[in-house]
Structure formats: structure tokens, C-alpha cells
Structure 1
Amino acid sequence: MYNSSAVQQNVIYQELSDMISFTSDEIQRQRELTENVVKRLLNKMRELSVSGDPVIEEDIIGTGSSFEGLKVREEHEFDFMIPIRSPLPYRLSPEFGTDKRDIKTILNMFGQIRCIRLQNVMEMQGGYYKRPADFKDKFCANDYLSPKRIREWFQSLADRAVIHIKEKNMDLTFSQQGPARTLNININKQKPISVDLVPAVKTNDIYLVAKPYGGSPEDYYPSNDSLWRMSFSVQERLFIVQKTSTLPLNSCHRQALKIMKYIKQKERKNIPAPHWSSCLSSYHLKTAWLYLLQQNRPHEWQPSCLRERVLELIRKLVESLEDKQLYHFFLGNTTLLNEKVISDAYYSKGNLLSEMKSETLVQANSQLRILYKNFDSMVNEICQNLQLNKQHNLESMENEIYQELPSQNSYCPIL
């Protein structure tokens, strides 16, 4: 049995973190393979696109845990934003927030993209554009770029392109999960790598991505088809890099979030799954963690503080559920302006819990309180089980190798 002292318990947290984390070599191999496949797919999509289609930019932007050092072993996923732009003679002009009368016109965390035709741009016979009306007719509604139409075009083009990419021992397929289109990379029949590809339009220092509004906008905002979700993925990555540079060597900040993500994924597999694990997304956990990363002093992220920081993250989530408020980290967070992470405060604060039912928040809060009290014992149990599984896998591998070895009576020619 493990010693229950705080110091020894912190060692157990460290051990758990090591067991659920990918090594840097593993991550690098997966990233290189995935990026290579995505670039080949996009090249073929460019070949198949026709006059009047959006232009797919050369640069792709990796986002999320795989590019921030926050990926855990349960995750075999990569996320990429695929920047697009309008062909000539059009220009895309994003709009946010309120109009000149200070009336709310666009939901928080979203923007619209107006399509403007440039004046004095000659129609080129053999160049960019032959029929200027094509792009606007196909992809816009009431002068605004439609994320739904862009998604449908992108998905159709990707479906046609993927059949041209063939490689031995690798299968590429697409699957549909709601509005999201996921590329599945299966190598040698192992667990597939899931890749989300999201068209995005850059504006200033952020991106607007073609992801739909998840609530009931009819009562709130009638023209939901023109809403593009704001993405601060680039800013998140920059903020984490900047903060990491100020922290102690081998700081525990990434480990703290990875442990919570792993526990959440594990709990979500239970039947029934606890409310907190199903109603709170990884982004909720990450948002609470970003606030702690901003507020805590550097020495509080010493390796010896891992257990304390994990428990503090749970307390932060409990308080947020109790107050029914967890604000988006980048919306209205003016302190980030001083840290040169963003160039605009972007609206007022956006509450990430605003659309959750009150009873769901209460149940999730109660469950997290129980989790907090029992977290040490849960970590101990998980650690022991992972070690037993590791030992079992090693023994299985040894048995397989032993069975494949030639017996003493086998004929073995001398070379």
C-alpha cells in the first residue's frame, strides 16, 4: 500500500502523470504522420477545386492538446484549422458584437463574415476568376459567408480527394459526428487516429471557424446560419508557452490538467456516467486551468505541488458550478492585453455555463465535491491498476516471443 503522507501522495500523482502521458518521441511521430496525410489531402483538394471555390491556404494550424503538450493516452486525436480565403474579386470582412447604435447584433463568442466585392478589379480571362458571381451565389446568404455552405463544400471536396490517397498498410476514411467531419487514419489495423479538419477565416489575431452554434439561436439570434465561432487556439498556445517560460524547471502545470482530463474520460465510461464528466467538456477543464495558470505564482507550480494544484483545479470547477459561471478566458479578460497575448478585449465576458440546466449544474457540483474528498484514493487505485496492466502486457509479450522461438529440436541451419 502507498504511504498516505502528502509528500508520498504527490509521488503517486507524478507516477500517474507519467503513465498517462505520451513521450515526446511518440507525439512527434504521430504529429509528423498526421500532418503529412493532411497536407497530401489538401493538395488533392486544391487540384479538384473549381473556379469560384474558396482558396485553401498552404499553411495549416495545429490546435489543441496535441500541440500544447496536454495530450493523454486515452486521446488519439489531432485538430487542424484549415485557413481559407475568398477568390478575387471578393474580400471577406469579419464583424463582431454591436452596431453603431450599440445594439447587440451578434452572439458572444461568434462573428459574422461579410462578403464584399472589390471595385476596379478586372475579370481575368485566364486567371483567378471567370464568373465573379459564382463564389457569392454558392457560399453566401444575404451578403454573409455561410459556415454551413462552407462545411458542406469542404466535406464534399475532402470525400472526393481522399480516394486518391493510397498507401500500403494505411486506410483513410471519413466519419460524421453531428456537423463535424473526422478523418480516420488507420495504420496496420491499430487504433485509428482521429483528425478534425475545420475551415477557418483569419481576422486580426484570431480565427473564425465554421462550427455551428450549439444552443437554440432562434429565440436569441435568428440568422444562425451566418454565425462563425471565434477560435482563440493560437492565443491559448502562445499564452501557455509564455507562462511556461516563467515557471520552475519541470513545473507541474501540464500534469495537473492531464490528470483531470484522464479522470474525466475514465469516469465518462461508467454507466451511468457522472454528470460532471459528461456535461463538462475538456474545454471547461482547460478554461478553469488557464485561470489558475494566470493567477498562481510561479513557485506554486513546483513539481512538489502537483497534488495541491490538481485539487485546486477541482475546487475551481466546484466554485464555478456553484456560481453557475465559468467565463471564457479570452473574452473580456483585459489583463491579457498587458501580456501581449491578444490585441483586443473582444466583447464582454462570455459565460461557458450559461446554457446548462440548473439541475445539471447542481448534480455535477455535488459529484465533484465527492470526487474531491476521494481523489487521493482514486489516484492510488488507478495507479495500481495501470501498473498491473503494464505488467500483464509485458508478460503477454514475453509469452508471445517465447512461443515464436524455435524449440531445441528444431533444425537450424548453420550459415
Structure 2
Amino acid sequence: MYNSSAVQQNVIYQELSNMISFTSDEIQTQRELTENVVKKLLNKMRELSVSGDPVIEEDIIGTGSSFEGLKVREELEFDFMIPICSLSPYSLRPEFGTDKRGMKTILNMFGQIRCIQLHNVIESQSRYYKKPADFKEKFCDRDYLSPKRIREWFQSLADRAVIHIKEKNMDLTFSQQGPARTLKININKQKTISVDLVPAVKTSDIYLVAKPYGGSPEDYYPSNDNLWRMSFSVQERLFLEQKALTLPINSCHRQALKIMKYIKQKERNNVPAPNWSSCLSSYHLKTAWLYLLQQNQHQEWQPSCLRERVLELIIKMIDSLEKKQLYHFFLGNTALLDEKVISDAFLTHHSQGNLLSEMNSDTLQQASSQLRKLQHNLDSMVNEIHQELRHQNSYY
């Protein structure tokens, strides 16, 4: 039983969503500053590049929650894909899924990039490389572009370039966080912005990013070291932009996900952290939320429905955990055919990818039980966080 009416409680949910969100002005100001620094860094990296290096393209692509209106406090972070390519006489061609024999050779949600040397190019086209083997020798493993070699090259080049970037009242450094190399922009020795830069190769439909495969190796998946992860960041932003055109004014869809992300973030800081908050990523929550956005009627995202939608998101996650199935939103989701955010050929060619397939059954069961407890105590937790943040804000 809830201690207050749903209407009164919904007001608290709305206030909480405002407390945990960055304002549009905050995001825009820091985004412009960050993009300026990143562009200067990439320009210097181009200057320091040598024969045989990949080409760092001019466009940078902002990805993730800071560009989708889904970022929650405290730390402000920005993620960028940095497109790279080769020049003649080489061509990069993505490969997915199955080979000509119909055998599964590449993990779902990943691709490989074959490097092909073209034989019918005139000499002037290939002069970027001082000798034909430069690029392939440095960055390929058995004819396939190696994400590990690309990451190491990119990180080394960025380390050498960053010492040349001088910005007033800013300190720029790189730090290692797992496999990622993160640029730290320290402003006036008070505020720090984290920036993740990941090399990416564009295919006809999506980007493949040089992020390592972190799952269990399987005998029938050769060359896991050459796997590039699929990125659907561009398609996600397009889907959200299209949905926004049909949703009610001041719709609660973003607030619902942000509240769940903030609760997860807060729970993960507990010792010990509940399983659901540590084993489930923000991307798991986002995927479940995308399905709700696709399936629900537009009027169900009225501002007055915020509390209901947060509860529905929890229930969706519980159902997914108990069924041990949460399918990738863009792989094999033929309900997207009418949305036109990705090609029909891509949607129909790729089979569904279960985001929970490699998670332990006991872990899934524990996470499900914990989310059921959260479902029944959600109002109490929201009230507690709301009061805590109001108390903190009263000091500023």
C-alpha cells in the first residue's frame, strides 16, 4: 500500500526528475567547450600521424545520454565516436553473421572488417602510403582490421597530441578506465568533465566501434580479437527524435528512464551493492525503455503518468530477467520496419541478440527478486531520495 495518492506522489517524481537532471543550458555550454577541445586534439593527432596510419575523419559523432537528454547528475560525461578510414589502395569492408556455408562465424552484435588491397588503382592514388604494406602490416591481423591495434595506435597518438593543447584555465590529461582511455578536462581545478573517445568505422547502416569483446570465448567463434562492436547510437537518436514528434507536450518518457538510472547509480554505491544495480548496465534499462516507447500508446507518456511509467519499466525488467531474455532493440526487431531508422535489409538480415544470454542464472534470479522489492518500495525510495536532495540543495 502506498502512503499517498498516486497524483500527489507523481508530483514528487516530477520534482525528483528535475533535481537529478542537468539543465539544457548546462549541457549545451559544456558540450560546446568539450567539442572545441576534442576538435583541437584531433587536429593535432592528424598532424602527428605518419605514413600508414588510418585517416581521422573530420566529423565527430556525439553519442550517449549527454546527447539524448538522458544524463543524470553528478558527473558530466561526453562520449564521441571518431570515424576513421583507409585510403587507396585499401578498402575496408564489414562482415557480419554467417559465411557462405551458412555457418555462424561472427558473434551477434559484432562485426569484422576485412581489409582489401585494390589492384587497379593508379600510383598517384596510393601515394598516401609510402609502401603498399604499411597500413595492412601495422593494423591488420590475417586480412582483418584489428580493433586492439587501432585502439593502441589511437591512444598513443592522443597521448602525444594532448601535451600540445593549451587551454586557458584548463588541464587536459588522459586516464585509463578499464579498456577505455578517458580524456579528463579539469576546469579551474574545480570541475572535471570526462570524455570518452572511441575510433569507429562507418558501414552502410551502422558504425563499428573498437571496443573489446568482453564475453566468454566460444570454439565456434574464431578470431574474437578481431571483433568490432556494433553501435546504434545514431539510430537511437533518430528513433527518439521521431518519437518526440508524436508524444504529448512535456512527455515523461525521458524522466522515467532518468529516475531509474539515478536509483541504479545510488544503489550501486551501497556496500554491498544489490545485484541488479551492479550486474545490469544502463544499456539494459535503456533497451527495456526503448521497447516501452515503441509499444505504449502516446497518451501513456503524459506528464501525469510518470510514476506509472517508472513502475512499468521495473516490471518490464523483472519480466525480462525471469524469462532470461532482453533482446537488442535494433537486431531482428522487425517492428521497426515502419520507423525507417535503419534499413529494412539490416533489420531482416540480422537475428535477435539476447543481452542477457551470458549472465548467470542465479545472478538473474537475485536481480529479479531485488527489483520486485524495489517495485513494492518504490514510492518510499523516491520520497527518501527527494528529501535527501532537497536537504542538500538547501545549502546552496
Same fold (TM over 0.5): yes
- After superposition, where does 1:154-193 map in structure 2 within 5 Å? 154-193=154-193
> Residues 122-141 of structure 1 correspond to what in structure 2 (within 5 A)?
122-124=122-124, 127-141=127-141
User: For the residues of structure 2 that align with 1:200 and 1:358, how far apart are their CA atoms?
Assistant: 33
Aligned partner letter, 1:374: N
Q: TM-score, normalised by structure 1?
A: 0.92
Aligned counterpart, 1:293: 293
Structure with larger Rg:
1
Superposition deviation, residue 220 in structure 1: 4.6
Specify the alignment match of 2:64 in structure 1: 64
- Quick check: 151-160 or 216-225, which moved more? 216-225
The 4+ residue runs of structure 1 with deviation greater than 4 A are: none
CA contact (8 A) 1:69 1:254 kept: yes
- Given residue 158 of structure 1, which amino acid in structure 2 is its aligned partner? A
- Aligned twin of 1:364: 367
Alignment-derived partner of residue 393 in structure 2: 390
Native 8 Å contact 1:246 1:298 kept in 2: yes
Q: What displacement does 1:275 show?
A: 0.3
| Alpha-carbon offset, residue 169 of structure 1 | 1.7
What pairs with 1:35-184 in structure 2 (closer than 5 Å)?
35-124=35-124, 127-184=127-184
- Quickly say closer, same or farther: Cα 1:213–1:125, change in 2 above 3 A: closer
Aligned match of 2:19: 19
How far residue 119 of structure 1 moved from its aligned partner, in angstroms, is 2.0
Deviations 1:250-272 (A, max 9, x none): 00000000000011001100000
Conserved? CA contact 1:89–1:118, under 8 Å: yes
* SS of equivalent to 2:115: strand
Deviations 1:102-158 (A, max 9, x none): 111110000010001112213339942221110000000111100000000000000
Deviation at 1:245, TM superposition (A): 0.7
Preserved contact between residue 95 and residue 113 of structure 1 (Cα < 8 Å): yes
CA shift, 1:217, in A, is: 1.7
- Residue deviations 1:50-97, cap 9 Å, x none? 111000000000000011110111242110000000122101000111
1:254 equivalent in structure 2: 254
The farther-off stretch of 219-228 and 109-118 is 219-228
- SS of aligned partner of 1:307: helix
Structure 2 unaligned regions, length at least 5: none
Q: TM-score when scaled to structure 2?
A: 0.97
Identity of aligned residues (%): 83
Q: Give the corresponding residue for 1:398.
A: none
Does the CA contact (< 8 Å) of 1:53 and 1:87 recur in 2? no
Partner of 2:271, secondary structure, is coil
CA distance in 2, matches of 1:53, 1:121: 19
- Cα distance in 2 between the residues matched to 1:208 and 1:167: 32
- Residue-by-residue CA offset, 1:260-301 (whole Å, 9 max, x unaligned): 001100110000000000000000000000000000000000
Query: 1:307-360 CA deviation, whole Å, 9 max, x = no partner?
Result: 000000000000011111110000000121221011021411100011111111
Q: Judging changes above 3 Å, is the alpha-carbon distance between structure 1 residues 143 and 125 closer, same or farther for their aligned structure 2 residues?
A: closer
Mapped to 2, the partners of 1:244 and 1:385 lie a distance apart of 32
- Equivalent residue for 1:412? none
Out of 373, 376, 385, the residue aligned to residue 379 of structure 2 is 376
Which stretch of the first structure deviates more once superposed, 67-76 or 253-262?
67-76
Q: How far apart are 1:163 and its partner, in Å?
A: 0.3
Specify whether residues 387 and 220 from structure 1 end up closer, same or farther in structure 2 by C-alpha distance, changes over 3 A only.
farther
Q: CA deviation at 1:192?
A: 1.4
Q: d(CA) in 1 for partners of 2:287 and 2:7?
A: 28
Counterpart in the other structure of 2:271: 271
Cα distance 1:75–1:286, how it changes in 2: closer, same or farther (>3 A)? farther
Asked if structure 2 preserves the Cα contact closer than 8 Å seen for 1:109 and 1:230, the reply is yes
1:341 aligned residue: 341
Per the alignment, residue 223 of structure 2 pairs with 223
Task: Please state how far the C-alpha of 1:221 moved relative to its aligned partner.
Answer: 1.8
Partner of 1:397: none
Q: CA RMSD in A?
A: 1.4
Instruction: Decide whether the 8 Å contact of 1:123 with 1:132 is kept in 2.
Output: no
Distance 1:135 1:253 in 2: 46
Q: 1:44 deviation in Å?
A: 0.2
Where structure 1 has 5 or more consecutive residues not aligned to the other structure, the ranges are 395-415
Cα gap change, 1:292/1:125 in structure 2, threshold over 3 Å: closer, same or farther? closer
Report the alpha carbon displacement of residue 18 of structure 1 after superposing the two structures with TM. Answer: 0.6
**Distance in 2 between the 1:221 and 1:104 partners?**
8
> Distance between the aligned counterparts of 2:3 and 2:376, measured in 1?
17
Q: Is the 8 A contact 1:123 1:129 kept in 2?
A: no
Contact 1:106 1:112 in 2 (8 A): yes
CA distance in 1, matches of 2:315, 2:206: 31
Tell me which amino acid in the other structure corresponds to 1:375. L
Amino acid at match of 1:161: A
* Equivalence for 1:204: 204
How many Å separate the matches in 1 of 2:122 and 2:176? Answer: 41
